[in-house]
Structures are given as C-alpha cells and as structure tokens.
Structure 1
Amino acid sequence: MFWNAKSDVGIDLGTATVLVYVKGKGVVLKEPSVIAINKDTNEVLAVGEEARKMIGRTPGNIVSIRPLRDGVISDYDVTEKMLKHFIKKALKEKRSKASRIIICVPCQATGVEQRAVKDAAMTCGAKKVTLIEEPIAAAIGAGLDITKASGKMIIDIGGGTTDIAVISLGGMVVRSSIKIAGDKFDEAIIRYVRRKHKLMIGERSAEDLKINIGTAFKREVDLTMDVRGRDLITGLPKNVTITSEELREGLSEAVNAIAESTHAVLERTPPELAADIADNGIYMTGGGALLYGLDKLIESVTKVPVYVAENPISCVALGTGESLNYIDEINGLYNSDINFLE
C-alpha cells in the first residue's frame, strides 16, 4: 500500500501540552491541551493557547476544558475535536489527512486507556494508528541509543504522569508510572498559598510561580515573586509576595514522591543494568524536568548522576516523530494496526 509520508504525524498527546511532529518538517505545533466550548450550542470557540487564556475568565455558558487528566483521556468527545483541530493546523491543508499517526501513551496505560487514545485518533481519518510508550519515545528524543545491551534510565515528567523506565535492547526492563507531575506541582502550590497566606490563586498563577521561582532543592539565593488572588478572609483582591523557599516547602511532598519512585525502580533493576546506569547516569525529560533543583534532589536520593536532556519539553514529540521510521516494528510490539475504510 502506498503511503504519503509527507502527512505522517507523530503526536505527544500530553495532559498539559500537545506537540505535533510532521515527517520531514519536525515539531510544527506546540499548544496547551485546552479547548473552549459553548455549552449551549456545543460549538468549539477556541483551541490551544487561545483557549488557555480563557481559563477562569469565561461566562457560565462557555467552559475551557482540559480533556486529558493524569495522562489519559477524561473527555473522549472533546479530545476528538481537539485532535482534529491540531492535526489540521499542523498539516496546513484544508483537505489533508494524516496517512499514519503514531501517538505516545504512559508506560502503564491500561488497555481501555490505550483504546480510547486510538479511537480518538481513528476519527481524524488516518489510514493507520500506532501507539508508543512515553519512556521509549523520550529516550529516542533525548538522543539515547536504546538498541544496545546497555542500561539507560529515563524519567519523563509531563503534566499528568511521571514515567520512569530502565531501557535495554529497545525495550523496557523495569518501569513505573505515577500520577504525580506538573499538574500536581501546580495543585500543591495552590494548596500551600491557600494554607499559608489565606489566599486563593488560580492554575495560571500557580504555574507562573512554579516556572519563575519554583524549586525542589534549596537555592543559593532565595527568589521572590508577587502574586495576586482573592483573600479568603475579606473576599477582596490581595497581593502577596511568595519566596522560592516557601515553594520548596509546598512542593516537597510531590517532588519527593518522584525521587522515591526513581529509587524504587533502581532497586528493581538487574545488577548489570544498574551498573550501566551508574556509569551513564539518569536522564530527565518533559516539562517537569525544568523545575529548578529536581535533578539535584533525585541525584541526592539515588547517588547516581542526573542529567536534564537538551530541549526536554520536545523530547517525547521528537522521539515519537523519529519512530515514524520504524512504525512497522512498533506495530508488531503493540498490535496497534488500525486500518480504515475509505
């Protein structure tokens, strides 16, 4: 069968961000996983960054929805609409459809969760849909050679899940997936500010705090940032200055859970592969890897060098796109061939 390779698409269907890779062009789209819908008419009003700007600022009949939670689809119909929009935008042709789509999923996604992802992609009109697990895609995107008989350890911290895996000879030997990642960092910051300062802030404000002064390890210089929210006592708008040391305290439970899960995976790793990892180090990918000091925290717990991959946010998308060259081999692993009737 003839495929139009120009419309082969790799998708990092993330809880927080969707990245689309088009064969021959690279990553052409990076947008928040948000869609705004008019509840009265079921009309899509905005998708991606435009919809994200509406969060918390819409009237009652308009809702900004994040249809993926904890790395899996929580609203199938909305995810389908969002995918169609992103694929059409990435291909930039009104009538163009993806010939083949490869989508990454968390390494411990259930059969039901995998099927939901495939079904959502089916409706976009592709001839074939294939799944790849996130740690494999992340390792490929980070430039690691996973084909050799040598242990490589990857930690992919996305928006909804953190996937941890030891890879050798192209497969995962030990793996773990926990539903603690970027979204949980934001939730932890919201809870901390509410408890400590009696101030209610939104998701966007929490994310800004996380990006600008968030830390998992003690900084040499304590940073500060002003944040505005609603005073829980007076009900009026209020400004508060937050320090990075406060955020370290607020984030401690979530980041320690990731460090402990990494330690647990290492404990289950065969001795020969563990020795390889001690030499090669641990690689971190995903947006959560950019949290200041998280690499140092994991290094202090595991006693193994930890490196943040170059361009960690795009690693999974790049690896997914690179996997388009080996789509037939991946189909054999996941039995994910889905052929469509015209």
Structure 2
Amino acid sequence: MSIDIGIDLGTASVLVYVKGKGVILKEPSVVAFDRDTNAIKAIGEEARLMLGRTPGNIVAIRPLRQGVISDYTVTEKMIKYFVQKAMGKRTFKKPRISICVPSGVTEVEKKAVEEATYAAGAREVNLIEEPVAAAIGAGIDISKPCGNMIVDVGGGTSDIAVISLGGTVVNTSIKLAGDDFDEAIVRYMRKKHNLLIGERTAEDIKIKIGTTYPLIEDEAMEVRGRNLVTGLPKTVTVTSSETEEALRETTGQIVEAVISVLERTPPELSADILDRGIMLTGGGAMLRGLEELIEEKTGINTMTAEDPMKVVAIGTGQFVEFMGGRKDF
C-alpha cells in the first residue's frame, strides 16, 4: 500500500493532505530544541506555545523563513515527524510526496526542499508552485485555456499568479505576508503607545480586530505588554481603525504587486480575469478587508476561497491525480 501525501510546507504552518482522507494535520512550523544536547524538545503546536517564553538553553525556532529553508537539518526532522504522524506507524512502502514551494524560489532552494523531503523518507517527490496548488485546491479547473488570477497570501511570502492551461503565465512572489502584518503591528504599538509586545500578541490582535479596510463599527481589545518608558507591564486598548493604520503600508505593497502582475498580463487573459475575478487564498487572506481593498484598487471582483488555509495543501495532494489526468491527455 503506497500512500500519496501532499504537504504545504509553509513559513507559519505545515498542512498535510492524505489522498482519500483530506487535510489530516495542521500544525505550526515551529521546532523547539535544546542548545546543549541538540535534542528536539517539541514540534508543532507544543513548540509554538514556547515561542518567546523559553529559558536560555531551549530555543524555539521557525526553520523556514519567507518560504525558504533557513535551517536544513531541523526542517528535515520536522518533515519526517509530520509525515510519520500523518501516516501512522504501520507502513510498508515509502510514500509519494508532493510539496509546494513559492513561485519565486531559485533552483538551489528547490533542491533543498527536495532533498529534505527525500531524507524524510519519500519514495518520489513532486515540487509544485504555490499558486498552481492553490488554484487546484480552490476547485478551479486550470487545464482550460482561460486566465485565472490567484493571490496566495501565506505566512512568509505572497504569491500572485495568472494561471492558464495548467501553468503560470505571469507571476510574482514578494517576501511580504502574514508575518509582516504582525511585525507592522509590533512597530505601531511601540511607536504610538510606547508598548512592547511579542509576535504572538501581535498575531492575536491581527486575528481578533485586524482589518485593512475601515469597518462600519470600530472594534476594540485590551493588549498587555511592557511599557517602554517605565519598563513595567501595562494594558492598552487598541481599536480596529488603528490596525488599519498599522497595516496600511504592508497591504499597500501587496496591492501594488497585484497591479504589477495585471499590467504584465496578456490582453486575452486580462479579459478572462475581469470576467472571473481574483481568488484570494492562504492564511493571510483571512485578514478582514483585504478583498474590499484589492477590489477598490483594481476594480476587479475579488473573492476568498472557501477554506483559504487548507486550499494549498488540498491542491498539493490532488496535483498527482491532476497530472495523471494530464498524462492521458
């Protein structure tokens, strides 16, 4: 029994799709290990809870930075752990693994992902570009000769591509995404409220009240951190209109990238996109107001995929079947 597995190896989280079962695993891509012994203490959600809260000898790190492997050995162990967890113990044959990479990666970076996956126990490895996987996962039939625009906002990179006939026509990948939203909130809190907060708190703010487009009713939440003037813990109330201000520059750059891809799109495909709209996928697409913002700046109808977080993993898993169909064709 051979198993086909699709892995969305993201900067923020790893999702594993198993053929016939769907997405069965979604964990943060964080690894905690002991500096003294080099032993891995925790992987996934358990390790994420340790971020910014560990003693000196234990470090919680993200082995992927901006969609690219920054720590090879740790990534290999992490992939191995997730593959074993997804497959369970009883396996006789090594799995076929499809894994996705951002559209702008170099050959060297692709090779690193491929080798890490083979080392983690794969029999065969297929690399797929993220926007293509996102389109398949969102249920778009990409084998037809008509243009589809995908904006995949992940944790470390945002991939924007126009896809037709199963391949990308124009694409761009910018190293600006969910993590940069968090950093923008951290900077804003420091500048405006003299409050130092960690990245986990920033992420909470982004998820609960974050918006990139003015809301009809302002929402607020209490944020705790360290006062930079007195050095003591302090509580501040933050509103959603402040998050809009904090995120304006970062989201503006994503919109600019979308416009630059549209400018390079062949006219026939531009007509298709105007007709079919822009599809938003990835965890970053869950940020409120992003649809409205892109729609306002481009004038093109924009919608978010049904389950934006899982779309890439599903597409990665279904890619093998899709390619199987293409081979017969």
**Shorter-chain-normalised TM-score: which range?**
over 0.9
Q: Distance in 2 between matches of 1:98 and 1:299?
A: 45
Q: Is 1:227–2:223 an aligned residue pair? A: yes
Aligned to 2:110: 114
Q: Distance in 2 between matches of 1:33 and 1:83?
A: 9
Alignment partner for residue 282 of structure 1, among 278, 282, 285? Answer: 278
Aligned to 2:73: 77
Distance change (3 Å), C-alpha of 1:265 and 1:250: same
Aligned to 1:335: none
Q: Is 1:236–2:222 an aligned residue pair? A: no
Alignment partner for residue 175 of structure 1, among 171, 191, 200? Answer: 171
Alignment map for 1:1-342 (pairs within 5 Å): 4-5=1-2, 7-93=3-89, 98-326=94-322
1:298-318 deviation per Cα after TM superposition (whole angstroms, max 9, x unaligned): 111111000001000000000
- Give the TM-score normalised by the residue count of structure 2: 0.97
Opposite residue 133 of structure 1, the aligned amino acid is E
8 Å CA contact 1:97–1:125 kept in 2: the answer is no
1:173 Cα deviation (Å)?
0.6
1:280-336 deviation per Cα after TM superposition (whole angstroms, max 9, x unaligned): 0000000000100001001111110000010000000000011121456899xxxxx
8 Å CA contact 2:7–2:17 kept in 1: the answer is yes
Distance change (3 Å), C-alpha of 1:256 and 1:300: same
Q: Distance in 1 between matches of 2:53 and 2:70?
A: 22
8 Å CA contact 1:21–1:318 kept in 2: the answer is yes
Opposite residue 311 of structure 1, the aligned amino acid is D
Query: Any stretches of 5+ residues in structure 1 without a counterpart?
Result: 332-342
Q: Distance in 1 between matches of 2:289 and 2:233?
A: 32
Q: Distance in 2 between matches of 1:131 and 1:145?
A: 19
Q: Distance in 2 between matches of 1:85 and 1:96?
A: 17
Opposite residue 8 of structure 2, the aligned amino acid is D
8 Å CA contact 2:80–2:121 kept in 1: the answer is no
Aligned to 1:337: none
1:36 Cα deviation (Å)?
0.6
When the two chains are superposed, the root-mean-square deviation of aligned CA atoms in Å is 1.4
Three-state SS of the structure 1 residue aligned to 2:55 is coil
Q: Distance in 2 between matches of 1:98 and 1:291?
A: 38
Distance change (3 Å), C-alpha of 1:43 and 1:95: farther
Distance change (3 Å), C-alpha of 1:96 and 1:289: farther
Distance change (3 Å), C-alpha of 1:245 and 1:8: same
Among the aligned pairs, what percent are the same residue? 61
- Give the TM-score normalised by the residue count of structure 1: 0.93
Q: Distance in 1 between matches of 2:262 and 2:148?
A: 11
Opposite residue 24 of structure 1, the aligned amino acid is G
Q: Distance in 2 between matches of 1:195 and 1:218?
A: 21
Three-state SS of the structure 1 residue aligned to 2:85 is helix
